[in-house]
Amino acid sequence: MAPKFELSGTDLLHADDPFHGSEVAPSISVTTTFRQPEIPEFDIQKIATNPELQRDTKSHVYSRITQGTSTRVEQVLSKILGGYAITYGSGLAAAYASLVHLKPKRIAITGGYHGAHHVIETYRKNCDVQVVGLDDDFAGVDIAWVETPLNPTGEARNLQYYADKIHTAGGVLVVDSTFAPPPLQNPFKWGADVVLHSATKYFGGHSDLLGGVLVVKTPEEWGKLWMDRIALGSVLGSLEAFLLLRSLRTLHLRVASQSATATALANWLNDIAKTPRGQSYDGVAGGILTKVWHSSLQGRDASGWSPEQQMEGGHSPTFAILAAHEEVAAVLPFALKYFIPATSLGGVESLIEQRSRSSPGDDPRVLRISVGVEELTDMKADFRQAFKAATAKAKL
């Protein structure tokens, strides 16, 4: 067995050590411009092939180009993601930047986060791009866009399968790994060429910043993305960079806890879903849920592949449940007291959302659950009382 994808707390705390002075907590820096040295030292071409040169504070000129805190964030992200990381103002800004960089003529994508489809639609306004499905023939496909685990269900897709398929066709594999930050899975190990994360979710982890990340395998590709970002202006804000750096210090603690709790909660809810009407399970009357989706419940596919092979560090802290009745799905988020009815995911506070509110066209019985860092026993007790209240309120 290959070693697991480790997430080192030491790296999270110290990967940016060479990039700062004597301060312990990073300083908040909001300057957009920097005092120029008498003899010019900034060389954009040199930095574009060697991001390490940003370590010299004299390399900062203007914050759309580089800035101290986001440079440090990129250093930490590069270390933990196993490539060259570049940050953006949001996950979708990162997605758009990947298209500008890869210049696809044909993209394969199926399902997943609706925003990724919107980005492709927006990009298509300016150039002729065909969109096919991931199960279609990949002839002429330049990008296979694979999200795993999937929004909103938390189910996994076999990356190696899509990597082999797209590489045979001569294209690249872009993996949206937002639902499985390190240490849950390492997409590069399974053939990814570009990895995308919405930093708004687990990296930020406190529902207080918007950010995005692309990770590539060479400094040359990083340099091209960086030059494009200077032109697009889609940088991570300076204050957001500070918040993100602060949050990354505890990523390993948060994600390990959230993943373990979510896996236990999804399995408990699955036992409830298996309980027929008229019977009860652990204090919950059966017949309230029809299905629970999560990679921990997925099992092996027809080829024998199972999500555990890929998700070596654990399952996603986000998953979905299918209520037996639309009325229950509508009221349950408001009957829970610890799960906040809200969109988004990845924060320390648990959230629940009737998915059709944010993703029109989705089944109105589907609820997405983002598990935070509260205690499992309290979450279960909360669901017990909320299932009762929601059943009464929905007049079932």
- The tokens describing 55, both together, are 């370590």
User: How far is 71 from 80, CA to CA, in rounded Å?
Assistant: 15
Residues 164/192, Cβ–Cβ less than 8 Å: no
- Cβ neighbours, 10 Å, residue 363: 14
- Cβ neighbours, 10 Å, residue 34: 19
Cβ-Cβ contacts under 8 Å for 284 (sequence gap 6 or more): 272, 275, 383, 384, 387
Scan for tokens 């489809």, then name that residue. 117
Q: How far is the CB of 119 from ligand PLP (least distance, A)?
A: 9
Residues 170/133, Cβ–Cβ less than 8 Å: no
Q: Decide whether 72 or 368 has the Cβ nearer to ligand PLP.
A: 368
Burial (CB < 10 A; 0-12, 13-18, 19+), residue 289, is buried
Answer for which of 19, 34, 42, 113 binds ligand PLP (CB under 6 A) is 113
Q: Decide whether 11 or 74 has the Cβ nearer to ligand PLP.
A: 74
Answer for which of 16, 147, 155, 221 binds ligand PLP (CB under 6 A) is 147
Q: Is 183 a residue that touches ligand PLP (CB under 6 A)?
A: no
For residue 324, give the amino acid letter.
Answer: A
Per CB under 6 A, contacts with ligand PLP among 3-42 are: none
Q: Is 210 a residue that touches ligand PLP (CB under 6 A)?
A: yes
Residue in the shown chain whose Cβ atom is closest to ligand PLP: 91
Q: Is 255 a residue that touches ligand PLP (CB under 6 A)?
A: no
Residues 368/383, Cβ–Cβ less than 8 Å: no
Q: Decide whether 324 or 366 has the Cβ nearer to ligand PLP.
A: 366
Burial (CB < 10 A; 0-12, 13-18, 19+), residue 248, is buried
- The tokens describing 384, both together, are 């017990």
Per CB under 6 A, contacts with ligand PLP among 70-109 are: 90-92
Stretch of 76-84, 165-173, 193-201, 243-251 contacting ligand PLP, by CB under 6 A: 193-201
Q: Is 176 a residue that touches ligand PLP (CB under 6 A)?
A: yes
Q: How far is the CB of 145 from ligand PLP (least distance, A)?
A: 10
Q: Is 172 a residue that touches ligand PLP (CB under 6 A)?
A: no
Q: CA 276, 277, 279, 282 torsion: positive or negative? A: positive
Q: How far is the CB of 350 from ligand PLP (least distance, A)?
A: 16
Stretch of 14-22, 110-118, 293-301, 363-371 contacting ligand PLP, by CB under 6 A: 110-118
Q: How far is the CB of 90 from ligand PLP (least distance, A)?
A: 3
Q: How far is the CB of 218 from ligand PLP (least distance, A)?
A: 24
How many residues of this chain bind ligand PLP (CB under 6 A)? Answer: 16
Q: Is 198 a residue that touches ligand PLP (CB under 6 A)?
A: yes
Answer for which of 104, 181, 191, 212 binds ligand PLP (CB under 6 A) is 212
Scan for tokens 């800035």, then name that residue. 67
- Best CA proximity match to 194, nearest among 210, 211, 227, 218: 218
| Interacting residue ranges for ligand PLP, rule: CB under 6 A | 90-92, 113, 115-116, 147, 151, 176, 178-179, 198, 200-201, 210, 212
